[in-house]
A = this chain, B = another copy of it.
Amino acid sequence: MIQVSPFDSTLFNPLLSDEETGALFNDEAFIKAMLYTEGALAKAQAAAGMLPESAARAISQAAQSLSLDPSLLAQATASAGVPVPALVKQLKAHLAEEDAKWVHYGATSQDIVDTAAVLILKEVIAISEVRLKHVIHSLAALAKTHEHTLVAGRTRTQQAVPMSFGIKVAQWLSPLLRQLERLEQLKPRLLKTQLAGAVGTLAAMGEYAVDTGHHFADTLGLECGDNWHTQRDSFVEWSSWSSMTTGLLGKMAQDWLWMSSTECAEIRFTNGGGSSTMPQKCNPVNAETIVAIMRLNAGWCGQMHQAMMHEHERSGSQWTQEWFILPNQCMGLNVALRHTQEALEHIVINTEQMLTNLSAFNGVIYAEAITFELASSLGRDTAAAMVKEASQAAIRGEGHLFDLIKTKTGHAIDTERLQSSLVSAGATTPWFHQILAHADQLT
């Protein structure tokens, strides 16, 4: 109930927000990005021969040095539905008349807002990328430590068969590598200028239109976009990427919630939330927050897809929606990445409890592995029949499977050897090394 979005709240900043990302989303930063874009436009137009170098220099300098109070622009923003006209007016007011007339020449408000948004997104993505690689690095380290740790594989909430905890961690990691690949592919489509003029033809720039566009892109260090003002696919692609990323982090965090629950207790976070009256409490706040953001981001992503319906050459109703959604997705993603990293720095793995949990059903979870072990001496079919019988007895509570097998066959299960075979069973080892090798290439 705070600052409309807790992302903007001082009270919630260390929990639900992120200072580094937050510095990119505020009136001042946005105004600055728009002014910077106006300056770059003037420089590009001068380079194309459309306006005097002196005017471009004056505009660009004024744009960079100007510090506009948001409240100054507010009222005019309301009437225009967009802050650019008021901003242009203020910028002009700080210039000599002969320079002022060239400000924003032939451009439209959306050129400025969209390009400024791309510039901000570029910085957001840089943060996301660093954090994502950091998370991948931490997961890789965790995976390596626990390649030979045994844990129950669980399907549909029930223990299924034992597996390496290292490969479980590698499965959290693996799709994040694909996310990096996707990010590389989407960047050239996303990080591009918007410069299209009133209706997408740059008519008012006449013969200078195309050249100006190229210089504009060069000046800003972006790809040169064309008239994509009503084609929002690139923003929506990033939006989907953002939500997919938090979806993958959310799946991992959800696993953490299950694993750190009192009854499972296989992991614990040393920075868990406590309670003065309940000393046993260790609330997994990082993981909960990641799950919360995953759910919200899926919703925001859906909203972005709904907002693609720009009519004709500009849509006040659809475009406005993006201003609400994109910043939340940027912040949400970076906050989720921060919490993931934080959790990974405070996670404690209780390998002993993992083994204990595997005995939940008197060891029947080892049935398949024991069958394999006995097959060499008893033959596959006899082994299978015997283990099945013993398993049923174990399920009925007549003893641990290991003991029942021994009674039945005289064969003493070498627990350690059995467990060690399980952590590298089947495709575990090659898959593990393949994923880890891929992760290592990043560093």
CB-CB contacts of A196-236 with B at 8 A, as 1s and 0s?
A: 11111111111001100100000000000011101111101
Task: List residues of chain B with CB within 8 A of the CB of A284.
Answer: 156-157, 316
Task: List residues of chain B with CB within 8 A of the CB of A210.
Answer: 427, 430
A2 touches B16 (CB 8 A): no
A interface residues, how many (CB within 8 angstroms): 180
B328 touches A4 (CB 8 A): yes
Asked whether any CB of chain B lies closer than 8 Å to the CB of A64, the reply is no
Other A-B contacts than A171-B227, A251-B310, 7 sampled, CB-CB below 8 A, are: A2-B30, A12-B77, A156-B283, A158-B262, A202-B426, A203-B428, A280-B365
26 pairs from A and B in contact (CB 8 Å cutoff): A2-B30, A3-B26, A4-B5, A7-B324, A9-B26, A9-B27, A12-B323, A85-B276, A154-B311, A154-B314, A155-B312, A156-B281, A157-B261, A157-B312, A171-B230, A181-B189, A197-B426, A201-B425, A201-B426, A204-B426, A233-B244, A244-B308, A251-B309, A279-B367, A279-B388, A301-B305
User: Chain B's nearest CB lies how many Å from the CB of A417?
Assistant: 15
B237 touches A427 (CB 8 A): no
Task: List residues of chain B with CB within 8 A of the CB of A178.
Answer: 189, 233-234
CB-CB contacts of A10-22 with B at 8 A, as 1s and 0s?
A: 1111111100001
User: Chain B's nearest CB lies how many Å from the CB of A276?
Assistant: 8
Instruction: Give the CA-CA distance A187 to B200 in the complex, in Å.
Output: 32
B327 touches A5 (CB 8 A): yes
Instruction: Give the CA-CA distance A209 to B365 in the complex, in Å.
Output: 20
- Looking at the complex, which of A37-45, A66-74, A133-141 is the stretch in contact with chain B? A66-74
Closest CB pairs A-B (n = 6): A302-B302, A153-B199, A288-B316, A247-B308, A155-B314, A14-B78
Neighbour of A302 across the interface among B2, B108, B301, B430, CB < 8 A = B301
Instruction: Give the CA-CA distance A185 to B317 in the complex, in Å.
Output: 32
CB-CB contacts of A136-152 with B at 8 A, as 1s and 0s?
A: 00000000000000001
